[in-house]
């Protein structure tokens, strides 16, 4: 009997040893993850490998990538990825029709003494990272409890124009510096179309604070808070405090204790914020996963290569808006938050109707139905500032007349005399251009008044601000007459101050010597360029064909400077030549040239026409790169930073 008992004990011991070689942990606890969409279903720990069996949740057909260099880390040691199952590293993997994709990652075996480890796909922004993965079966963490915010019964206040700022502050719970997250967004100002982005770093404890430029007393702002992106409504002069709880969001995918949102319709926007401060009830409502999915649910476009009639498009647009309104009614958020979501849908409808080409085909015209819908959707309403889209609505209405076929034909006829002169390189008197612009502006104003029945209201005040903003993009101060035409006192004061600053900048520039304006050689196009380049024999040269009136030209010049490319190549001896022609008014050209380090020439219409023909340029901006021997190594219309950089490198060889 004793022998049998000893034999049984020995067999149990052997079995235990064999079983111990593969330790299985189902649904292991983790402290925090950069995304709840990647879940670890099971760990398999043995002396030969560490296997993570995972599920990725998203919309059917959407894809994700797992980097080949992914690793595990524990106690300062790194365990590399050895293999995968049902997945190829560094390649796009699609989610199946169930909204899931199951796969396994196989790593080197971790030390048996390790009680927890981390999974890192990388340390760049957006990389998958899961921290504090437990090798036992117990939940170690604690989910923070948040108090519900009482919904205010006060109606949303009508926003008023205001050139000020609001503060966005808060904390990311579970944050680790290795996550490389940021707080950033765009002011998307309806006063200044060149509104700057805002951003700040996150402190090691996850706290942050940043001032946000504002154009209204209350407005929606698009912002990235770590791995969260969406709309928050800020109040000018006050602080919106938010908490992004990565620990809570990590566990929203499963477990009876947490909200189970495995429905594929809600998976992409699991993360939510907890908001305090002004309009806390609104922000807590619009940042729920359900509300965010309604906001981001856009009207579907026809299949590639297909279009629909204008009538069908308008019907579909109205039906879609009605469908969205019903979905908004069912949201489990307060009425004030629902109102903001509705305003966002109105703004989306306005822009879709204005830019209908994806539905009705490029070049097809809406007639005047689009601007009639502007009236139907109450476009001329400052409440749209809550949506975060007021600047885009202003822009869409500002150029709505271009979607009216009758208006476009009328403008073509007015422009024909000048267009014909431009084709053959004839000089165009500035008086001709001014007269044409005045006539077009008159027709545009008549068009807007006819369809909205007024020329007053925030929509028109926003258009006035946009026109002032574009005028100042050319480094040209506004005249007293232009300032007086700004009907809103807040906007007028904003541009009065901005105007004075620009005058001071221009005065300072005149004292510098970073730019030179040369007299243009009076030769034909090809010889003109050769004469200009003689000055720089033995140097690599970049020639920029630009115009003061050309938005893409101005944007490219700023981008080339701000990226550091210009400074880099200037230090290597590259010469920069800027060529424009008579379409750029001379006073504006001189103002802008004073802020552009390089040599400037003003071509005649004939020279411009001949050079564009010689190099096959089709528009502005266009570029030439010439090497040290005078050979053209690059010519292209349109700004391509990488191509230009490669061409200059080649020219320097």
DSSP 44-92: EEESS-EEEEEEEE-STT-EE---TT-EEEETTEEEEEEEEES--TTS-
Cα gap 384→388, rounded to integer Å: 7
508-518 per-position pLDDT tens digit: 887 776 778 77
Query: With contact defined as beta carbons under 8 Å apart, do 451 and 629 qualify?
Result: no
Question: Is 11 buried (19+), middle (13-18) or exposed (0-12) by CB count in 10 A?
Answer: exposed
pLDDT score for 414? 87
Q: Pull the structure tokens for residue 174.
A: 């579970």
User: DSSP class of residue 496?
Assistant: H
pLDDT score for 140? 55
Cα gap 184→163, rounded to integer Å: 20
* Mean pLDDT of all residues in 356-374: 81
pLDDT band at 448 (very low <50, low <70, confident <90, very high): confident
pLDDT band at 117 (very low <50, low <70, confident <90, very high): very high
In this model, does residue 440 exceed pLDDT 60?
A: yes
pLDDT score for 544? 97
pLDDT score for 59? 79
* Mean pLDDT of all residues in 135-145: 67
562-619 per-position pLDDT tens digit: 899 999 999 999 999 999 998 888 889 999 999 999 999 998 888 898 999 999 999 9
Q: Pull the structure tokens for residue 106.
A: 């196989």
- Between the ranges 99-103, 460-464, 526-530, where is the mean pLDDT highest? 460-464
Query: With contact defined as beta carbons under 8 Å apart, do 17 and 37 qualify?
Result: no
Instruction: Give the 3-state secondary structure of 449-482.
Output: HHHHCCCCCHHHHHHHHHHHHHHHHCCCCCCHHH
pLDDT score for 139? 61
pLDDT score for 16? 42
Cα gap 362→381, rounded to integer Å: 30
Cα gap 366→623, rounded to integer Å: 36
Cα gap 603→524, rounded to integer Å: 10
- Greater confidence (498 vs 126) lies with 498
Least confident among 61-75, 351-365, 533-547: 351-365
Produce one character per residue of 220-231: b if its CB has 16 or more CB atoms within 10 Å, e if not.
bbebbbbbbebb
Report the share of the chain in percent with pLDDT over 70.
92
pLDDT score for 399? 86
Give, in order, the Cα–Cα distances in Å from 131 to each of 119, 240, 436: 6, 29, 64
Computed over its alpha carbons, how large is the radius of gyration of the chain? Answer: 31
Torsion of CA 603, 604, 605, 609, to 10 degrees: -60
Torsion of CA 491, 492, 493, 496, to 10 degrees: 120
pLDDT score for 384? 96
479-508 per-position pLDDT tens digit: 999 999 999 999 999 999 999 999 999 998
Query: With contact defined as beta carbons under 8 Å apart, do 43 and 51 qualify?
Result: yes
pLDDT score for 369? 74
pLDDT score for 195? 74
pLDDT score for 51? 97
* Mean pLDDT of all residues in 404-420: 84
- Kindly report the backbone phi and psi dihedral angles of residue 140, in degrees, each rounded to the nearest multiple of 5, phi listed first: -100, -20
Residue with tokens 């010519």: 635
pLDDT score for 422? 72
pLDDT score for 452? 80
Question: Is 638 buried (19+), middle (13-18) or exposed (0-12) by CB count in 10 A?
Answer: middle
Query: With contact defined as beta carbons under 8 Å apart, do 383 and 343 qualify?
Result: yes
503-554 per-position pLDDT tens digit: 999 998 877 767 787 777 777 777 888 888 888 989 999 999 999 989 899 9
Strand, helix or coil at 159?
Answer: coil
pLDDT score for 487? 95
* Mean pLDDT of all residues in 336-358: 93
Cα gap 458→215, rounded to integer Å: 12
In this model, does residue 142 exceed pLDDT 90?
A: no
Where residue 443 falls (left for φ over 0; alpha for ψ -120 to 50; beta otherwise) is: alpha
pLDDT band at 258 (very low <50, low <70, confident <90, very high): very low
Q: What is the DSSP string of 132-195?
A: EEESSSS----PPP-PPPPPP-SPPPPP-EEEEEEEEEEEEET--GGG---EEEE---SS-TTP
pTM above 0.95, yes or no: no
Query: With contact defined as beta carbons under 8 Å apart, do 271 and 228 qualify?
Result: yes
Residue spans of alpha helices (H) in 161-309? 246-250, 280-286, 289-296
* Mean pLDDT of all residues in 395-402: 85
Where residue 21 falls (left for φ over 0; alpha for ψ -120 to 50; beta otherwise) is: alpha
Query: With contact defined as beta carbons under 8 Å apart, do 636 and 622 qualify?
Result: yes
In this model, does residue 260 exceed pLDDT 70?
A: no
287 cis-preceded (ω within 30 degrees of 0): no
pLDDT score for 253? 55
pLDDT score for 265? 40
pLDDT score for 252? 62
The CB density around residue 139, as the number of other CB atoms within 10 Å, is 14
pLDDT score for 267? 39
CA angle at 526 for the pair 524 and 528, rounded to the nearest 5°: 60
Which DSSP helix (H) or strand (E) runs through 534?
A: helix 525-534
Where residue 562 falls (left for φ over 0; alpha for ψ -120 to 50; beta otherwise) is: alpha
* Mean pLDDT of all residues in 442-471: 89
pLDDT score for 271? 67
Q: Beta partners for 542?
A: 576, 625
pLDDT score for 270? 57
* Mean pLDDT of all residues in 304-309: 90
Mean per-residue pLDDT over the chain, rounded: 87
In this model, does residue 141 exceed pLDDT 60?
A: no
Q: Pull the structure tokens for residue 116.
A: 């927890």
Report the share of the chain in percent with pLDDT over 90.
57
The CB density around residue 47, as the number of other CB atoms within 10 Å, is 9
């Amino acid at each position: 009997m004793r022998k049998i008992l000893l034999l049984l004990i020995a067999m149990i011991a052997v079995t235990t040893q064999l079983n111990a070689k593969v330790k299985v942990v189902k649904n292991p606890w983790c402290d925090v993850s950069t995304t709840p969409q990647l879940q670890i279903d099971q760990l398999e720990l043995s002396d030969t490998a560490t296997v993570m069996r995972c599920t990725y949740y998203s919309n059917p057909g959407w894809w994700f990538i797992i980097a080949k260099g992914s690793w595990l880390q524990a106690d300062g040691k790194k365990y590399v990825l050895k293999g995968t199952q049902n997945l190829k590293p560094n390649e796009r993997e699609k989610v199946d029709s169930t909204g899931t994709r199951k796969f396994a990652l196989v790593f080197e075996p971790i030390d048996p003494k390790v009680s927890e480890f981390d999974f890192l796909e990388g340390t760049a922004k957006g990389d998958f990272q899961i921290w504090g993965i437990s090798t036992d079966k117990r939940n170690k963490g604690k989910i923070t409890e948040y108090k519900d915010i009482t919904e205010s019964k006060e109606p949303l206040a009508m926003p008023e124009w205001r050139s000020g700022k609001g503060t966005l502050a808060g904390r990311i719970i579970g944050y680790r510096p290795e996550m490389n997250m940021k707080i950033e967004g765009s002011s998307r100002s309806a006063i200044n179309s060149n509104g700057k982005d805002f951003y700040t770093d996150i402190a090691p404890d996850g706290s942050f604070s940043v001032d946000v430029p504002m154009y209204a007393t209350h407005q929606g702002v698009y912002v990235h808070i770590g791995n969260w992106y969406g709309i928050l409504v800020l109040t000018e002069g006050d602080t919106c405090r938010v908490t992004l709880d990565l620990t809570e969001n990590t566990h929203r995918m499963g477990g009876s204790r947490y909200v189970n949102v495995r429905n594929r319709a809600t998976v992409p926007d699991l993360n939510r914020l907890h908001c305090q401060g002004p309009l806390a009830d609104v922000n807590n409502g619009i940042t729920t996963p359900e509300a965010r999915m309604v906001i981001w649910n856009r009207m579907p476009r026809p299949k590639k290569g297909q279009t629909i009639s204008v009538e069908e498009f308008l019907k579909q647009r109205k039906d879609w808006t009605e469908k969205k309104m019903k979905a908004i009614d069912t949201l489990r958020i307060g009425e004030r938050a629902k109102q903001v979501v509705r305003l966002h849908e109105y703004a989306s409808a306005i822009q879709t109707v204005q830019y209908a080409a994806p539905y009705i085909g490029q070049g097809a015209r809406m007639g005047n139905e689009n601007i009639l819908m502007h009236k139907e959707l109450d476009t001329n309403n400052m409440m749209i500032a809550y949506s975060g889209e007021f600047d885009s609505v202003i822009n869409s209405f500002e150029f709505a007349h271009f979607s009216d076929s009758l208006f476009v034909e009328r403008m073509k006829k007015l422009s024909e005399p000048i267009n014909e002169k431009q084709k053959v390189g004839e000089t165009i008197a500035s008086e001709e251009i001014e007269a044409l612009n005045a006539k077009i502006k008159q027709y545009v104003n008549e068009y807007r008044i006819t369809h909205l029945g007024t020329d007053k209201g925030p929509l028109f005040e926003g258009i006035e601000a946009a026109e002032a903003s574009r005028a100042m993009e050319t480094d040209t101060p506004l005249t007293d007459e232009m300032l007086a035409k700004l009907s809103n006192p807040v906007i007028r004061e904003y541009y009065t101050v901005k105007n004075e600053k620009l005058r001071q900048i221009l005065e300072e520039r005149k004292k510098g010597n970073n730019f030179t304006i040369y007299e243009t050689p009076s030769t034909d196009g090809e010889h003109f360029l050769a004469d200009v380049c003689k000055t720089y024999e033995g140097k690599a040269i970049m020639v920029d064909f630009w115009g003061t009136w050309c938005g893409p030209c101005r944007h490219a010049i700023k981008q080339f400077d701000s990226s550091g490319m210009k400074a880099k190549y200037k230090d290597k001896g590259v010469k920069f030549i800027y060529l424009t022609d008579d379409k750029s008014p001379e006073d504006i050209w001189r103002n802008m040239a004073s802020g552009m380090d390089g040599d400037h020439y003003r071509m005649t219409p004939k020279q411009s026409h001949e050079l564009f023909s010689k190099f096959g340029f089709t528009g502005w901006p266009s570029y030439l790169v010439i090497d040290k021997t005078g050979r053209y190594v690059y010519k292209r219309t349109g700004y391509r930073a990488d191509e230009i950089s490669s061409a200059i490198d080649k020219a320097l060889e």
